[in-house]
Structure 1
Amino acid sequence: MENRVFARLRFSYERLKESVSRSCFLYCALYPEDHHIETDEQIKYWTWEGLLDNLGYGESKMLQGKMILDELKNASLLEIGCQEGSLNEYVKMHDLIRDMAIAVTRVSPLFIIRAGHEIRDAPGESEWLKGLERISLMTNDLSSLSFEPKCPRLTTLLLQYNSLSKGILTSFFNHLKNLTVLDLSYTGIARLPDSLSNLENLHALFLRSCWNLCHVPTMERLKELRVLDLSSTSIECMPLGMESIWISPTLQYMDLIFKFYGMDYNSLMGHISPSRVIRDRGSEQIAEFMQGDSTSRNSFNLKVLNVIGCDNLKTLLPLELVQQLKNLEELELQSCSMLEEIVTEVENEEGIQENNGEVVLPSLRKLRLVSMPRLRSICRDPMICDSLTTIEVVDCPELEILPFFLEIRPQLVDSLKQIKGSRSWW
């Protein structure tokens, strides 16, 4: 009976139109049994892994990802999931379908999936075969990784929700040169091994809620890094080498999420500024852009900027910086309790404010502002954001003006799909 059922399920899998759909389906098996997978998160994992590389990042890849999810649901390979109290979209795998997917990954492509097995020891070194492509050991009780695996084809390594209290061997990453996604979130690790600096193909590094983490090795060689999540860690300053990532000409997008715990805002803005010269104007921290030669004054490649839990900020972006962010697509600010203004104008040496009366962010598609009780202004001048599709404002009672609507442009009318906010705020 089991063989007949598996044969039918495998037939549905093999009938999928594209090989990318099959790869995306197998990726869902990396989660624990009965896990509700957030769809947007899953699509981003596919993107960072490079599964959707035939299209550019942004709405096109999200759209392609949703189409693939619809195909998998229509083939009955994924079910609609839910999470109590959440408005996000989820999918899940039926146990039998997940078992079939795992059976596929024992042959080709080659995975190790031990997610949610409550294991205390990692698979033995002999199990880390050269042909391995993805490994999921999330949601276990691993205390250490004390060997040096040789897996040149490994692209994804998921280790979140483990203790890792005894750490990771210094040379652990020496032979994982093809790794693109590494998740160590919600672990007790205190130091990342120096061999992490060798992961030159790494696209996404997740260290969210690694409360003990206080050391990250230099990132100078991580030229392909797209996503860095350092939220809720004990890191007090920016990792070395970040400036080479900010201005890397090959950068497609960069998602920086910071929970500061005393991290100096100068440290962040200093790595954004081409000249890395910071001027303190009372409570404001202003990045000085007007020094240096005409080149890294070019537009930045930054596409996604998330700033979360920065309680010391009163202003965020100096006007000079905003004028460089022509490629910015997503801006999310959350739980910055002292923030009063997002874009702030500065005076030149003659005391004159330099601005042409408008701020232009031509690529901005999504703006999300959450839990900022003192926020009064996004920008004092009109903002031209003709690509905006979504605006979300939650628990920002002092924000009374949206600068995009000071001048109603037909392009914005065409692009804007939704504004989310409480009825009383609206």
Structure 2
Amino acid sequence: MDKLLEIVTKAAEIVTNATTLLCPDLEENTQTLQSKIELLKSRKVDVQADLKNAGKKRKREVEDWLINVENNITEFETLEQEIQCSRFYSRQKLAERVERMTKEVMELDEQSDFPGGLFLEVDESIGQLMLTPPHNDHAFLQNFNDIWASLMDDNILSIGIYGMGGVGKTTVAMHAHDKLLNEPKFSGHVYWITVSQDFSIHKLQSDIAQALKLDFSCGSDEKKRAAQLFQTFQKMGSFVLILDDVWKQIDVEKIGIPPRRDGCKLVITSRSKEVCHRMGCQKIIKVNTLSKQEAWELFLKKLGRDELHPEIEEICKKMVKRCGGLPLALVTMAGSMRGVTDIHEWRDASEELKESCMGRADMENEVSPILLYSYDRLRDPKLQRCFLYFSLYPEDFSIKREELIENFISEELMDRRLSWRAENDQGHAILNQLERACLLERVYLIYLDEYHVKMHDLIRDMALGITKHNRRYMVKAGLHLREIPDVQEWTEDLDKISLMKNSIGEISIGMSPNCPRLSTLILSQNPLKSIPDCFFTQMRGLRTLNLSSTSIQYLPHSISDLENLITLLLRHCFELKSVPTLEKLRLLTRLDLSYTGIEELPVGVESLTNLKVLDLAGTSLSMIPTGVLHSLSLLQQLRLPIHIGVPIEEVLALKQLEYFCGSVNSVSDLNRLITFLQSMMPPSFYCIFLISKFDEQIIWETSRRKLVGFGKESLMDSSLGEGKILLPRDIENLIFSESGLRMVSLADGFLMLNNARYVKKCNVYNEDEIECIIRLSSTEEQQSRGVPFQSLEKLLLYELPNFIGLFMWEGKAAVAPLLPGIFTQLTDLKIDRCNKMKKLIPWSLLQTLPNLQNLGVKFCDEIEEIIGDEDDDGSPVINSSAEVTMPRLKILSLVNLPKLKSICKGMMICDSIENIIIILCTNLKKVAPLDGQPSPPPSLKEIRVDAKGKEWWESLEWEHPNANNFLQPFVKFVPLWANSL
């Protein structure tokens, strides 16, 4: 036995030595790659912060960069695991991957400078950019150049773009759309409408009206609607209307589109050349498939590999050939194989694909088996279930990731987890896998600061085809149906039905579909006012019912008998005043009554002992009856209306609680609740208010973060001493709103709060006694108080009647310098309606704001100077030759400041400035960040001035005589309302 052990030990040593000799630098190179990955992560955080702070539309190259960074981070995590488990025979391949990834990461780091800036320069009030990725392949450029030449030809008024599904018609049309938005001859009047296979005149009219921001004044009469659309287009002058995915001939006059008028162009994309002819297109352009070389390069790019094993390369070439030059097929196929290295798995995949494509010789259908193969390769049933669930949404529909994951959980599509956080993490992991397989696409909505996902229409068609054979779905979503489908269509074998986002106003009395197996029914986003009582009587197997965002006024009593119901969603049913008894719905796990008109809890809520999610936010409930929450011991998520205090003892008994939003009545209750939440795992989300009278807009703007808010007169108790109020350790947002802070400085208010040093964002509204942010005193006293704002990133001050500036000296005597680190992290400072303030930032203390990026001052009647200083006799310390440096300032916004005379009297150095907004500041004579410069700052993008301020702009004084000329291209005169970024 000892001898055997010795042999095994020596063998292990030999393997280890061989491994090291074969690739001696693998570990070191991996550590180098890891350090570069960490730097890339930091750069990614910086870029995302810049995007979020600016609030503008990002360039697609920026979006692509972020996605590539995320992919590299994910791939590195996989690579690390493989290296740890590697043997000598695989280390050479791993070393090659490390080398390749290092090059990619270095390239991404170099690309992160974005010399043209992060954002698109376009008037967003007119058009909306499609943000399509750049293409350099020959076929794409040839197609695009043909289309662009036709668009610029005044003699061509209608253009047809055709080609097989997945060839890239929509992509090339999107590029044309984006470029047209900057074309002066159309003044931004470029409109994109997705038509799809199941279009109707009524739906198409509604979609065009929405794009034009037109409200129909003629009801639903299609002829009158057509006339109104026609008149709107006639008044517009030149415009381009792009109709994407047209399946059959459309009579444009019936829709209300002017036929062939000079200066107006109609562009359609279709899979059929015949449709283009029938619609009278003067120029018809075929979108060609990729050449063999272009197809191969695209496949390798999406596969994420530069070099391949000869046998794997041969298999890949066969796969590429089967894709027939179709970009969608190539991208999806490569996505399904990304990360596969084992030759056996490649051979197996090749056989699967061959079987999937048997009998599919027709090129038009070539993409279908490719997509079906990618679906089959998901393997994991939960991935397939979640993928198919997305087909219930309308075509070209994007949905917030978190909302989709909530539905995955409710529908029990994923593996069960012990906590909501674990299930939420699982949902994100599933969406990431579907994105990496190119079956879902990630979309970032900058105006919401949210990531959404969407599905290509061909992939959705494939998903719906699967559900017709395996899991019976009836999906008629987003078709502008005005009536519910006939009862004959509600067959007995249906599993899920989606009628969301239509125009269904009523369900016929007496309609009672026989659907005993139906598990999910989605009627959300319809103007539905009532449902007959008999409607649900033959749907006893129903598990999910979604009536959100309808006009429902009352629910049928038959809902009370749906004993298998797990999820009931009534969010944003504002007209709903009451709900029938829920006593029998003992299996219910998710009940969403948020933003409904209910004034009392439904009867039987206390019987819902399996409930995990209860959302009552935004309702008019006057109270939560005693004992109700105590009976719901499994609650993981709880949102209550903020105008009522929670029954604290009952909340503290909810040992599974991870997500909480509501109000408490006292500091004591607040401390107990926070202690309770932190005694378990930190909750993934909380929004806690002390005293409940908050403006709804404030809550809407801030409640997406971890938040604690102090409402009306909640801090007037004179017994509140230093550190008496507990804040969570991971707090992000802090709000004071008429809280009665009896403090001269905000910093003194922070002293009452334990853990306040971790706050990242602070909003202060209507606090009468606040005069400054920090009182400057002796160094010893400052040290004793500590550094209260060391983590603060954003500070908003609104309507503070006695506020005089950021800093205030105690007496006129000179004081020691401000302690370092106080505002080190501050990036955003916004002051609004603080009418006593004359100077905002003392020049001598400007160095305390080294990272300030966004400075906004609005509606401050008395302010005279943004950066200023005074000595004991009141004369200014700063002079015209002094230099004032703001190294990271990007946005300066000054709005309605009637007495403002100066931004800064000295020479202001601000090479980072990108956007300057000056609205109704008629006494301002110089624009300091631009004055004294021989040329525009290198980062400058736009100077926004109110439309009536042209005369003011012309009267400005400049150190350099040519300043007005070289700044003129950056000046944009806008309406008064367009005063923010």
Q: TM-score, normalised by structure 2?
A: 0.34
Alignment of 1:220-369 (within 5 A): 220-245=583-608, 248=609, 250-251=610-611, 253-261=612-620, 263-265=621-623, 268-272=624-628, 296=631, 300-308=633-641, 310=642, 312-313=643-644, 316-333=645-662, 341=665, 344-345=668-669, 359-361=675-677, 362-365=680-683, 366-369=685-688
Q: Measured at CA, do residues 14 and 159 of structure 1 come closer, stay the same or move farther in structure 2, by a change above 3 Å?
A: same
How many angstroms does 1:218 deviate by? 0.3
Greater RCO (Cα-Cα under 8 Å, separation 6 or more): 1
2:559 pairs with 1:196? yes
Deviations 1:276-297 (A, max 9, x none): xxxxxxxxxxxxxxxxxxxx5x
| Cα distance in 1 between the residues matched to 2:674 and 2:485 | 58
**Residue identity matched to 2:711:** R
Question: Quick check: 1:367–1:392 contact (8 Å CA) kept in 2?
Answer: no
Q: Report the secondary structure of 1:20's partner residue.
A: helix
**Residue identity matched to 2:687:** R
Q: Report the secondary structure of 1:60's partner residue.
A: helix
Over aligned residue pairs, what C-alpha RMSD do you find? 3.3
Q: Measured at CA, do residues 193 and 68 of structure 1 come closer, stay the same or move farther in structure 2, by a change above 3 Å?
A: same
Q: Measured at CA, do residues 194 and 342 of structure 1 come closer, stay the same or move farther in structure 2, by a change above 3 Å?
A: farther
Q: Measured at CA, do residues 244 and 74 of structure 1 come closer, stay the same or move farther in structure 2, by a change above 3 Å?
A: same
1:73 — aligned with what?
435
How many angstroms does 1:323 deviate by? 3.0
Q: Measured at CA, do residues 19 and 144 of structure 1 come closer, stay the same or move farther in structure 2, by a change above 3 Å?
A: same
1:393 — aligned with what?
733
Q: Report the secondary structure of 1:151's partner residue.
A: coil
**Residue identity matched to 1:321:** E
**Which of 413, 422, 425 lines up with 2:794 in the alignment?**
422
**Which of 489, 506, 515 lines up with 1:127 in the alignment?**
489
Q: Which has the higher helix share?
A: 2
Identity level (%): 34
| Cα distance in 2 between the residues matched to 1:193 and 1:201 | 17
| Cα distance in 1 between the residues matched to 2:517 and 2:653 | 37
| Cα distance in 1 between the residues matched to 2:516 and 2:585 | 17
Question: Quick check: 1:38–1:89 contact (8 Å CA) kept in 2?
Answer: yes
Deviations 1:193-248 (A, max 9, x none): 11101122222211122222123110001112222222232222111111112xx2
1:292 — aligned with what?
none
Question: Quick check: 1:120–1:141 contact (8 Å CA) kept in 2?
Answer: yes
**Residue identity matched to 2:577:** C
Question: Quick check: 2:724–2:754 contact (8 Å CA) kept in 1?
Answer: no
How many angstroms does 1:120 deviate by? 1.1
How many angstroms does 1:396 deviate by? 4.3
Identify unmatched segments of 5+ residues in structure 2. 1-362, 689-697, 700-708, 740-748, 759-790, 798-825, 827-981
| Cα distance in 2 between the residues matched to 1:159 and 1:357 | 38
Q: Measured at CA, do residues 44 and 420 of structure 1 come closer, stay the same or move farther in structure 2, by a change above 3 Å?
A: farther
Q: Report the secondary structure of 1:214's partner residue.
A: coil
Count of paired positions: 364
| Cα distance in 2 between the residues matched to 1:66 and 1:170 | 39
2:577 — aligned with what?
214
Question: Quick check: 2:629–2:651 contact (8 Å CA) kept in 1?
Answer: no
How many angstroms does 1:32 deviate by? 1.1
Q: Which has the higher strand share?
A: 1
How many angstroms does 1:8 deviate by? 0.9
2:172 pairs with 1:172? no
**Residue identity matched to 1:259:** G
| Cα distance in 2 between the residues matched to 1:301 and 1:343 | 27
How many angstroms does 1:116 deviate by? 0.5
Which stretch of structure 1 is more off in the superposition, 316-325 or 128-137? 316-325
Alignment of 1:36-185 (within 5 A): 36-146=398-508, 147-165=511-529, 167-185=530-548
How many angstroms does 1:392 deviate by? 4.1
**Residue identity matched to 2:558:** S
Identify unmatched segments of 5+ residues in structure 1. 275-295, 334-338, 347-354, 409-418
How many angstroms does 1:383 deviate by? 6.6
Task: State which structure, 1 or 2, has the greater radius of gyration over its C-alpha atoms.
Answer: 2
How many angstroms does 1:393 deviate by? 2.2
